[in-house]
Amino acid sequence: MIREGDVRARTAVGTAVATIFATVLAVAPSAGAGASTSGTQAATKQVTTAFTTLFNASDTNKAAKEALLQDSSRYKTAFTKLFDSKVAKANPTKAQVTSVTFPSAATCQAAVQVAKCAAVTYNLDSAKTGSSLLSAVSGYAVDSKGHWLVADTTFCSLAKLGGAAC
């Protein structure tokens, strides 16, 4: 039996996800953004920047945001759908990274099919009200030629919540 409160919660989560994707798509890194392999501290900073930039609705540079997504050309349709959605524009989001860790190569291979990754815990908040939309969300970033990108698995998990298929 579905109760009225359940429907409201599911609707809020779906709206939050669509908003998050719009934010993710609007994030733009600088041309030199991306972690080098010079150390955990620098990598943590660059992973955090990739997530917060991608999910920052105030930045509407779609091309730059796409550059932060692993295999972005493969997900262009889903990305565009989320970025341009009315729900995402009406409910902008922002991300707050709460934890970045660097699993072993074996763990990364199993989780995201690359040898070097970061496990990221983050919150998605309303950019309008600051209220939490999704808390303690788990995701991944991947190192691609010395640049940290939001993993496609992370994007697709959120895209499904926002109604876009990967």
Q: Is residue 10 part of a domain?
A: yes
Residue 79, pLDDT score: 82
Q: What is the pTM of this model?
A: 0.74
| Structure token pair of residue 77 | 């349709």
Rounded Cα–Cα distance for residues 18 and 15 (Å): 5
Q: Is residue 166 part of a domain?
A: no
Sequence-distant (6+) residues with CB within 8 A of 34 are 46, 50, 144, 146, 147, 148, 149
Rounded Cα–Cα distance for residues 80 and 25 (Å): 8
Q: Is residue 58 part of a domain?
A: yes
Q: Is residue 26 part of a domain?
A: yes
- Domain containing residue 155: 4-161
Residue 27, pLDDT score: 32
Which residues of the chain fall short of a pLDDT of 50? 1-37
Q: Is 31 exposed, middle or buried, given 0-12, 13-18 or 19+ CB atoms closer than 10 A?
A: exposed
Total domain count, the chain: 1
Q: How many residues does the chain have?
A: 166
Rounded Cα–Cα distance for residues 105 and 103 (Å): 7
Measured CA to CA in angstroms, residue 71 lies from 21, 58, 60, 68, 103 at distances of 16, 24, 20, 9, 21
- Residue-wise pLDDT for 49-74, tens only, equals 999 998 888 788 888 888 999 998 89
Residue 38, pLDDT score: 55
Residue 111, pLDDT score: 96
Single-letter code of the amino acid located at 101: T
Q: Is residue 55 part of a domain?
A: yes
Helix, strand counts (H, E) of the chain = 7, 4
Q: Is residue 123 part of a domain?
A: yes
Q: Is residue 144 part of a domain?
A: yes
Q: Is residue 51 part of a domain?
A: yes
